[in-house]
Amino acid sequence: MSNALWDSLVRRIRAQGPITVADYMSEALSHPEHGYYQKQDPFGHAGDFITAPEISQMFGELIGLWCADTWQAQGSPQACALVELGPGRGTLMSDVLRAARTLPEFGQALEVHLVETSPVLRRLQQENLAAQTQPTWHEGLEYLPRRPAFFLANEFFDALPVHQYQRSETGWHERLVGLEDDGQSLAFGLSGPLPDSLCQDFPDCSPGEVVEVCPAARSYADIMARHVCRYGGAALWIDYGHDRTAAGDSLQAVKQHNYHPVLTDPGEADLTAHVDFGALKRTAESAGARPHGPIGQGPFLKSLGIETRASLLGEAATPDQRAVLAAALQRLTAPEQMGTLFRVMGVTHPHAPTPAGFPVTEADSTEGRATG
Ligand code: SAH
């Protein structure tokens, strides 16, 4: 189907040849005029998909308490940054701040920074957070204050552009987006042969297999890991993904809660790829930081006390509200819903205590540190 972004992509491909899948994803999501996130508010029941903070306030509240607890365990540093990447409508930040301020000294120590490229979503974030904070917005992570930082990213990494490579009998090729022979629709194709070093994380692939590499995710992960090593704080990354780097084509489009063909209607459907937590973990380790997890969202939230929080909220609720709470609890934590597929990974300085929600490791007991 044709739209303004489709026309511009077709013109570009006719003039310059096929583009990479990463370029396609980046144009479809972030084109300054016609990109998916530049045009609309895609969240919630009426939108294209629903995220954990939009399902229930409990999600953000527990993460706010997690930040406060981690802050205390690191000696309650006086001034620190709370940085969210891809804050959507600002719902998570709003719930996090409300909970974090139950510890007033933590609330006072915090300065809020948001990393967001979409002007539409920046406006929405400003409106929704106006009563609680005046955040500073950033395009990326280049200009952060030199102080401890708590980085939150929920369903952020899955929106970053991935390169796809396909193995052939003779070596690796990059998957490209070009035009069908009739020139009327977009189609996948392959580049010429590429050096093996590009796909060194996938040594055992068979011909025909597709792998994904997300340099943008690695670069964000690297900056956050270096920051917590140098200044303190922690990062918390939550996303749909896999713990070990493995082959597979996970690029998918979703429109109005249904799967949609990836190359149809660019800019009109959400495009995501599964997050390779194996790669993020290696990146954090090479930056000198300590990764925690990844573990399932269900066990993580349960260990932070989501069931107790749900029954507390239930005490003051009507029967209808109680049913909504029970459904939200189920959706966020049940293994067949978001509890297992969504992974949670933390990152801290190697000598910082294990943050709440993650399994305690030998390092904690041998060094006699308190854990959350
Ligand atoms: N965290 C929110 C929204 C997830 S959607 C929630 O859980 O509800 C992805 C978010 O990342 C959107 O806010 C989108 O505009 C933002 N985003 C996508 N690509 C980005 C990029 N390259 N840099 C900064 N923000 C980006």
- Between the CA of 294 and the centroid of ligand 1 the distance, in Å, is 21
Is residue 60 within 6 Å of ligand 1 at its C-beta? Answer: no
Is residue 84 within 6 Å of ligand 1 at its C-beta? Answer: no
Backbone angles phi and psi of 221, in degrees to 5: -60, -40
pLDDT at 49: 80
Which strand (E) or helix (H) includes residue 254? Answer: strand 252-255
Radius of gyration of the chain (CA): 21
pLDDT at 363: 66
Report yes or no: 272 and 331 within 8 Å, Cβ to Cβ: no
Is residue 270 within 6 Å of ligand 1 at its C-beta? Answer: no
Q: Which atom of ligand 1 is nearest to the CA of 86?
A: 11
What is the reported pTM? 0.95
Is residue 348 within 6 Å of ligand 1 at its C-beta? Answer: no
Question: Residue 330 pairs with which residues in a beta bridge?
Answer: none
Ligand 1, atom 3: closest residue by C-alpha: 88
pLDDT at 2: 55
- Between the CA of 101 and the centroid of ligand 1 the distance, in Å, is 25
- Which residue has tokens 């070990």? 244
pLDDT in tens, the chain (372 residues): 458 899 999 999 999 999 999 999 999 999 988 999 987 677 766 777 889 999 999 999 999 999 999 999 999 999 999 999 999 999 999 999 999 999 999 999 999 999 999 999 999 999 999 999 999 999 999 999 999 999 999 999 999 999 999 999 989 999 999 999 888 899 999 999 999 888 889 988 999 999 999 999 999 999 999 999 999 999 999 999 999 999 999 999 999 889 999 999 899 999 999 999 999 999 999 999 999 999 999 999 999 999 999 999 999 999 999 999 999 999 999 999 999 999 999 999 999 999 999 998 766 665 544 443
Count of CB atoms within 10 A of residue 27's CB?
23
Quote the tokens at residue 265: 């209607």
- Between the CA of 66 and the centroid of ligand 1 the distance, in Å, is 21
Quote the tokens at residue 256: 């109005």
Ligand 1 pocket test target in 31, 37, 224 with most atoms within 8 Å of CB: 37
Is residue 293 within 6 Å of ligand 1 at its C-beta? Answer: no
Domains of the chain and CATH, by start:
51-154+227-238+276-367 (3.40.50.150)
Is residue 117 within 6 Å of ligand 1 at its C-beta? Answer: yes
- Between the CA of 51 and the centroid of ligand 1 the distance, in Å, is 11
Cα distance between residue 230 and residue 293, in whole Å: 21
pLDDT at 59: 98
pLDDT at 365: 64
Quote the tokens at residue 40: 């609309």
pLDDT at 257: 86
